[in-house]
Amino acid sequence: MKEKTIQKKKKRLIFRTAMLTVMVGLVVFALVANGEDEKAVVAKGEEAPDFQLKKFGTGETVQLSDLEGKGVMLNFWATYCKPCKDEMPYMEKLYPKYKEKGVEILAVNLDSTELVVESFVNEYDLSFPILQDKDGQVMELYNIGPIPSTLFINPEGEIEEQVIGPLTLDKLEGHLQNIAPEE
């Protein structure tokens, strides 16, 4: 009888030790996984990370650091995103006016099919640069989640504002005014 009790206690001890080991492993995993997510967070007031992407259609390379001294609107979008489609005409309407004032609009496309993007650009008659981020490299660099997401970068290269979701014409113009270089 005494031997059975000892065996039960040993089994319980082994089971409890195994469970404790699994729980400690899960806690360590959760801490490591959460730490990785925070490495690429870009916040207001921080310097915008530099990147280089090809311009849709021409294959010309655009590098963010080459635009220093200009205000930059960095818009992340895709053709399948309804709110993205809704704000594109606003961007197109304001582009010529703010380009003259030293503000560049860069629309970073996250689609993988060029034909779909080409059709979209033609349908909306877009004149501002459309950049291709097929592998999501820049999207990851800026820690972009939902789209549309837009960052407004001042002439000094710092993030002035980040807007998640669609922009109205008035809000868009207000943000563009804030990042326009002073004359």
Q: Is 4 helix (H, G, I), strand (E, B) or coil?
A: helix
Residues 28 and 77 both lie in one domain: no
Query: What pLDDT tens digit does each residue of the chain (183 aa) get?
Result: 677 777 887 887 787 776 667 666 656 666 665 544 444 457 888 999 999 999 988 889 999 999 999 999 999 999 999 999 999 999 999 999 999 999 999 999 998 888 899 999 999 999 999 999 988 999 999 999 999 999 999 999 999 999 999 999 999 999 999 999 986
Please, what is the angle between helix 82-100 and helix 114-124, to 10°? 60
Residues 21 and 49 both lie in one domain: no
Residues 88 and 22 both lie in one domain: no
Residues 32 and 117 both lie in one domain: no
pLDDT for 85 equals 93
Nearest in space to 71 (alpha carbons), one of 150, 153, 170: 153
CB 60 within 8 A of CB 54: yes
Which alpha helices (DSSP H) does the chain contain, by range?
A: 2-37, 82-100, 114-124, 137-141, 169-179
Domain that holds residue 85: 41-179
| Six-digit token string for 177 | 């005014």
pLDDT for 152 equals 97
Amino acid, res. 154: N
Q: What is the pTM of this model?
A: 0.76
Strand partners, 106: 74
CATH of residue 95? 3.40.30.10
Whether residue 129 is preceded by a cis peptide bond, meaning omega within 30 degrees of 0, is no
Residues 77 and 166 both lie in one domain: yes
pLDDT for 18 equals 63
Residues 15 and 105 both lie in one domain: no
45 contacts: CB under 8 Å, gap ≥ 6: 158, 159
Residues 136 and 119 both lie in one domain: yes
Task: Look up residue 38 and give its DSSP letter.
Answer: G
Residues 173 and 98 both lie in one domain: yes
**Phi, psi at residue 131, to the nearest 5°?**
-105, 145
Residues 62 and 151 both lie in one domain: yes
Residues 35 and 125 both lie in one domain: no
How many domains is the chain built from? 2
